[in-house]
Structure formats: structure tokens, C-alpha cells
Chain A
Amino acid sequence: MARTVIPFGPQHPVFPEPIQLKLECEDERIVGVVPVIGYISRGIEKAAELNPFRNNIFLCERVCGICSFMHALCYCQGIEDMMKVEVPSRARFLRVFWAELSRMHSHLLWLGLLADSFGFESLFMQVWRAREIILDISEMTSGHRIIQSTNVIGGVRRDIDEEMAQKVEEMLAQFKELADRSILPTILNDPTIKERTVGKGILTKEQAELLAAVGPTLRGSGVASDMRMTEYAAYKEIGFEPIVETAGDSYARTLVRVKEIYQSLDIILKALSMMPEGDIAVRVTGRPEGEVVSRVEQPRGELIYYVKGNGTANLERLKIGTPTFANIPSLLVMLPGCELADVPVITLSIDPCIACCER
């Protein structure tokens, strides 16, 4: 059988962002895959060396639109760690609040894209409608729908008062009602979704560990690894258990994310009720000096920031290690042997965020 090379991307309706996969096909079976990245590399690590360290928050927020809050959080925690700043506990709870809110809207965005990739248009519409509620909460509490931009070094920028917390709880109840009614039963029971995802793109536990998969990709393969277990921000007080599935296929990764949506919902409600009174930020003076590695759990997995300060207003080096970059090797293992029709599902099952990946 003649081999054809199908250029999957860089502009392809399945991908929201430009990445190319050169798929070597025998008929409709994939036998080889070469990733071509670098379409949106913006040199953010270099730009971070040229800015004063406080301004870098805004830069980090723009590494990726969807997980912007996590990037800023990771950066701020790194700098605070380096400068030995004690963040007020109310600020830590507020950080958890927005972090989980971004996780919810990121997972919902992804779920919609996945539904679209296997041609389930009505699920796609329902999921994105539910996501609107989360975006409304984000806008109400931070002033922005996606890039919340509430982190500052030493705390957060905005507070949530009693009245607003009440409103958030109402809206979350509304969201839960919608998700329970139209999203969860479909994902759990629809036979066509299972036909398209179960057993597709299997990543075993050993492979996942050796290839350094992160986030839901890793947890879908049965490894209980989540950076929230390191108890940054207020996860220690709130308590956290990672969600793990063992099948290692696209459906397992889907289930991990769907369950995480519900888990985030619980964490948000807990954070709102447990939030202590007090300041939301401390004043930070001085210049960062030293080296530090900061890690948070982004919706897509572990985010690593290596920050090196040299006692001036500018940083010596900022290294951003992103989850999609870490998950690409796993993708290259999942794809060969699958059918062309499964490529969109498997590719999306790692939740690729190319802007993160290339920085």
C-alpha cells in the first residue's frame, strides 16, 4: 500500500492553535508522525529578562490565554519564595478560587473542542454554554472573562465580599444543575462517545512515567501525581486528593477532566466558605536575588518556573517549563497504529496548548 503523508495543520479546524503533525499513513492507518512546532514562538523567556520583575506578571499571563492565571500564580509564588514574603492567608484562598475557576473554564473549553472533534455538535454547544456561567463569574469577580490578572507579588489585587460570594455560589449551583443535566450523563452513557474514545490512544503507566507525561494525561494512566499535592497556596487547609483513572486511553483522560471540573467546583465552594478575614496583599520591597523553582498544577499539568534573580530590577533568567511541551513525547507514542479518524480525538486528549508549548 502506498504511503501518503498528510499534513495535519498548521491551520486545521481541529486545532485551535497552529501546530503541524506530519502523519505518515498507510491507507487510513498512521504509521509515523513528526511534529512540527514553532509557529507561534514569541521569545517570552527573553522578554522576561528585559522587563522589571514586577512587570513580568503581565508577560507571564500572556504565555497562554486559557491558563493565564496559573502562569502568573507560578511566577508570583516563585518570586515570593525567593524574597521570603509571607502571603496573607486570605490572598492564598483567593488565589485558589481563581485558579480553580480557570481550571474549570479550561477543562470546559477542552471538552467542547473534543466533542467537536468527533462531530458531536450539540454536546459542544451545551458545554460551551455551561462554560459561559464560569466566565461570567470570572468577569464579576475579577473584571475579565479569561485573563483574570488578579495576582500581584505579595498577594492578590481584588477581594471578594460577602454579597459577591453569595452570588458566586448561586451561579455555581446553576452551573452544576446544567452540567448534571446535560453534560455528565452524555459523557458517561453515550455509546457513540465511548465508541470513539475507549481504547483509543493508550498510554501505559510505565510509558507515561518514562515519557514524563503530566497532568490529566499522567493521571489517566494511573499515576496519582498532581502538583496540588505539594500544598501550595491554600490547598493544605482545603485538602486535596488527586483524581486517577487507570485505563490510560482517551476516555480515561476525558473522565479525569470531567471529574476535575466537579472537584474544582467543590474546592471553590470550600475556599469561599473557609476564607479568613484579613489583608489581601502585603507590600513587597527589595529586589529578588537567588534561584528558585516554582511549580503549580495547571489545567493541562505541571508548570515549572525556574527563576534566577541577581539583585537588580531585572531577572537573570526565567525558564518556563510547560505541560504541553512535556506531553508531546507521549502524543508521539499514542498516535502510531491508530486510524486517521482517531487522530483528532487522541491529539486533543492531551489538551494541547501550543502557545504554552512554544512560549
Chain B
Amino acid sequence: MAIIFIAAIVVTPFIGGLLRGIDRKLTAHMQGRIGPPIQQPFYDIIKLFSKSQIITTRSPLLLVYGYLLFIVAAVVLFALKQDLLMLILVLGVADVLLVMGSFSTRSPYSQIGSNRELLQMFSYEPILILASIAIYMETGSFLISRIQQPLLPTLWPVYLALLIALIILMRKSPFDISASEHAHQEIVRGIFTEYSGLYLGLIELAHWYELVLVLAVISLLWTAGVWPGILLALFSWFIVLIIDNINARLTWSWMIRTSWVAGIGLSILNIIGLRLFGG
């Protein structure tokens, strides 16, 4: 138990960072560039940690630690194969802390960014909750440890809905509305505008944990052995990269429409289908 606990905390950021590195490399290749070396995210975060600190408002700083802590807690919950519903709740709390942090600064960019981050939360949280309900209907439990059979054959609409949630969580086009990755948008870096140095580094670190966690949730959909699940997660991640590269950024109203109609719609249809034909 203790080993899993420590491994989850220590190994996860390495996987997350590596994925981000490969992400940048692949994106660069899709755009006809060479791109940074794969270990670049690690260099970035080391540099961020060693920067001198410029602090505009003190109150968000504690909330950044809270954000990181809750996400790590969610990762640990997953590693210990605990309750899926609890995990989603903890993830939600983490995001709320981030939003509160940005709301407490006076910059209009981060204010609007946090507004949009809230909208993003309202978009992907229902999908995650519905997905866990669908998994419950198949396995009879919210506990991750109870998942024994491959779920994808019956839960493929939920998988599609989870892909939408994944794009939002990875902050990729067309849903990079609260903080675009390269800061080239109307509200600059949005929710992260007021953070710098160590605290920006911590947020980035939390983001790595979050990425691995969501991919891990997706991999749950196929548990006939560990490898197919991981392959499924990586495949979904790659699909997101492609979608990012063939789309422009869209507005928040469009995002709500897509995620609620397509995301929630698919999940609910799936649940109704399970009730009628399966289970």
C-alpha cells in the first residue's frame, strides 16, 4: 500500500512531464516544425522553480498549494483503487481552488479567465460524473477495484464523451478558452496570468498529475490486462493532439453547447441503453 502510495506521487509527474514533452514534439511535427527536445517540460519547470518570485497578491498562493494537494490526493485515490465518484469530487475541489485563487487577484485577464474556467468545469464535470454512473451500472460499484471486465464494447458512447472532457482538461483547441497554451489569445494566459515563478511551476506540476489521472480514468474502460488500457489512453491522447491541430479556438458558448449536447447526451443515451438492453 505504502509503495503504491509513494509510487503514485513520485512516478506520476514523470509520466505527465514526458507526455507533455512528446506532446510538444508531436505537435511541432504536425505543424512542420522540429520542436523542443522531449525533456523540455522538465527544464521549464526547473527554471520556473528557480525564478525569483514576484507576488502581486498573497491570497492565491495558498490556494495554489491546495490545488496541487487535491489533485495529488485524487491521483492517490486512483492508485489505491478507491471510489471513482470521490475521485471526481476531489478533482472538482482542486479546480475550484484554482478558480478562487485567480478570482482573488484584481487583473481583469485572470478574472475573465476564472469565469471561463468555471464554465469549463461545468462542461466536463457532468461528463465525468455520468461516466462513473455508467461504469457503476456495468460493474455494480463505484470502486475502481471492482472493475474486472472490459467496458468499451458497451460503454463506447461514454468513451466519446470522455474524449470531449479530455480536450477541455488538456486545454487544447477548440476548447482552450480559459488559458490558451501559448498565451496568444484575447485574455493572454487567462487564469494563470497573475502567477509566476514557483507558483506557475506548481500549477504546471498539478497539470501533469491531472493529465495522467484523466488518461488513467479513460484506461479504466478497458481492463482486460493493463496494456490495452494504457494503449487506449495513449490513443485517445493522440486523437486530442490531432484535433488540436486541425481546429481553431472556439468560444465558451460553443463549448457548453458541444459538451452538454454531445457529451452529456452521449452519456445519458448510454445509460438509458444499459438500463433497457443490458445490465
> Does a CB–CB distance below 8 Å link A and B in the complex?
yes
A residues bordering B, Cβ < 8 Å? 4-8, 12-14, 28, 115-123, 125-126, 129, 190, 192-193, 195-196, 339-344
Task: Report chain B residues within 8 Å CB of A14.
Answer: 184-186
Secondary structure class of chain A's binding surface, majority of residues:
helix
- CB within 8 Å of A: which B193-248 residues: 244-248
Whether the pair B32, A195 counts as a contact (CB closer than 8 A) is no
Whether the pair A13, B248 counts as a contact (CB closer than 8 A) is no
Secondary structure class of chain B's binding surface, majority of residues:
loop
**CB of B112 within 8 A of chain A?**
yes
Task: Report chain B residues within 8 Å CB of A4.
Answer: 108, 111
Whether the pair B185, A119 counts as a contact (CB closer than 8 A) is yes
Residue of A115, A116, A192 near B174 (CB, 8 A) is A192
A122 touching B248 in the complex, CB below 8 Å, given contacts A4-B108, A13-B188: no
Whether the pair A119, B31 counts as a contact (CB closer than 8 A) is no
Additional pairs, 14, CB under 8 Å, beyond known A12-B188, A13-B183, A121-B182: A28-B252, A119-B249, A121-B31, A121-B244, A121-B245, A122-B30, A122-B31, A123-B248, A125-B31, A125-B33, A193-B248, A196-B251, A341-B177, A344-B185
A341 touching B251 in the complex, CB below 8 Å, given contacts A6-B109, A12-B188, A13-B184: yes
Task: Give min CB distance, A117 to chain B, whole Å.
Answer: 7
B residues bordering A, Cβ < 8 Å? 27, 30-33, 108-109, 111-112, 115, 173-174, 176-177, 180, 182-188, 244-252, 254
Whether the pair A118, B187 counts as a contact (CB closer than 8 A) is no
Task: Give min CB distance, A16 to chain B, whole Å.
Answer: 11
Whether the pair A339, B108 counts as a contact (CB closer than 8 A) is no
Task: Give min CB distance, B26 to chain A, whole Å.
Answer: 12
Bound together, the chains give a CA A12 to CA B245 distance in angstroms of 23
Task: Report chain B residues within 8 Å CB of A193.
Answer: 248
Bound together, the chains give a CA A122 to CA B26 distance in angstroms of 12
Task: Give min CB distance, A191 to chain B, whole Å.
Answer: 9
Task: Report chain B residues within 8 Å CB of A119.
Answer: 173-174, 176, 180, 184-185, 248-249
Task: Report chain A residues within 8 Å CB of B30.
Answer: 122
Task: Report chain A residues within 8 Å CB of B186.
Answer: 8, 14, 340-341, 343-344
Bound together, the chains give a CA A344 to CA B186 distance in angstroms of 6
Bound together, the chains give a CA A125 to CA B186 distance in angstroms of 20
Smallest CB gap from B27: residue in A: A121
Which of B32, B177, B247 counts the most A-chain CB atoms under 10 A from its CB? B247
Task: Report chain B residues within 8 Å CB of A339.
Answer: 251
Task: Give min CB distance, B130 to chain A, whole Å.
Answer: 26
Task: Report chain B residues within 8 Å CB of A343.
Answer: 186
Residue of B185, B245, B248 near A195 (CB, 8 A) is B248
Can you list the 5 inter-chain pairs with the closest CB atoms, starting with the nearest?
A119-B249, A125-B31, A192-B248, A120-B248, A118-B248
Task: Give min CB distance, B243 to chain A, whole Å.
Answer: 10
Task: Report chain B residues within 8 Å CB of A8.
Answer: 186
Task: Report chain A residues within 8 Å CB of B111.
Answer: 4
Whether the pair B184, A117 counts as a contact (CB closer than 8 A) is yes
Task: Report chain B residues within 8 Å CB of A28.
Answer: 112, 115, 252
Residue of B31, B248, B254 near A126 (CB, 8 A) is B31
A120 touching B249 in the complex, CB below 8 Å, given contacts A125-B33, A195-B254: yes
Task: Report chain A residues within 8 Å CB of B115.
Answer: 28
Task: Give min CB distance, A159 to chain B, whole Å.
Answer: 35
Bound together, the chains give a CA A28 to CA B249 distance in angstroms of 16
Bound together, the chains give a CA A240 to CA B170 distance in angstroms of 49
Whether the pair B184, A122 counts as a contact (CB closer than 8 A) is no
Bound together, the chains give a CA A352 to CA B188 distance in angstroms of 19
Q: List 26 contacting pairs A-B, 8 Å CB cutoff, sorted by A.
A: A4-B108, A6-B109, A7-B108, A8-B186, A12-B188, A13-B183, A14-B185, A117-B185, A118-B249, A119-B180, A119-B248, A120-B249, A121-B27, A121-B245, A122-B246, A125-B33, A129-B32, A190-B246, A192-B247, A192-B248, A192-B250, A195-B254, A341-B177, A341-B186, A341-B251, A342-B251
